[in-house]
Amino acid sequence: PQDTHTNDVICEKHTDTQNKLQSIVNGLFPKGSKAVLPKNVSSGVFVKLIQFIAQEKLDFAMTEIIFDLLGVNRLPKPRMNIGLCAFLLIAHGLQQRDGEPPMPQEQSGTHNYHYYYSGQLQPHRMGYVRRSFHGTTLDDALCERLGIQPYLTPVRKAFEAILRLLDVHVCRNMMPPKQNVAVRDVEEPLS
């Protein structure tokens, strides 16, 4: 079934694909909401879904999903987490040339709800699998090579804003020294 859906997306008109993806995204990540739907699914499933979409529609995944999830004028922690993780997973996949990502499926770390003999709905948490990325800094040259350079500045700005919000909430400085976080717009003249 995965190949059939992928072929449908590849072979149909651009506007049809955009409309279908937009309706899926609006259902999972409602505009103006701090939460994602369904709420009982781990963020890893959403991250993998965004990675899957980015395989065929990178610009859509970045501009319509990740940039929206990284909106920092409010503090929607689950959305920011999904947005940052998805961006890092996409960049890592492009760097490793992983090929086509698998379709997201229920996996370790998700909450599965089971009825026990008592008749009550209780969460059952299975083992949690965490994936980490080590070693490579996402600098301008690497992002240019991976084809994600146009998205790096907005993601950096969002990450910097997240760190500033954390400074206030955690009551300690999360920002690195100023010389390391200087993010300039492309149009801004260097002085």
Supply 76's token pair. 């929607």
Give residue 106's pLDDT. 56
Closest among 61, 80, 74 to 32, alpha carbons compared: 74
Partners of 189 in the beta sheet? none
Partners of 112 in the beta sheet? 124
Is residue 37 helix, strand or coil?
A: coil
Residue, of 60 and 119, whose pLDDT is higher: 60
- What are the tens digits of pLDDT across the range 48-74? 999 999 998 999 999 989 988 887 445
Give the C-alpha separation, 92 to 13, whole Å. Answer: 29
Span of 33-47, 124-138, 169-183 with lowest mean pLDDT: 124-138
Give residue 124's pLDDT. 38
Give residue 134's pLDDT. 57
Report the pLDDT averaged over residues 112-117. Answer: 31
Residue, of 80 and 75, whose pLDDT is higher: 80
- In order, the DSSP letters of 65-101 are IIHHHT--SS--HHHHHHHHHHHHHHHHHHHHT--SP
Give residue 110's pLDDT. 41
Partners of 30 in the beta sheet? none
Residue, of 106 and 39, whose pLDDT is higher: 39
Give Cβ neighbours of residue 42 (< 8 Å, ≥ 6 apart): 107, 109, 110, 111
How far, in Å, are 7, 44, 51, 70, 153 from residue 78 at the CA level? 31, 11, 17, 10, 22
Burial (CB count within 10 angstroms: exposed 0-12, middle 13-18, buried 19+), residue 185: exposed
Q: Is pLDDT above 50 for 36? A: yes
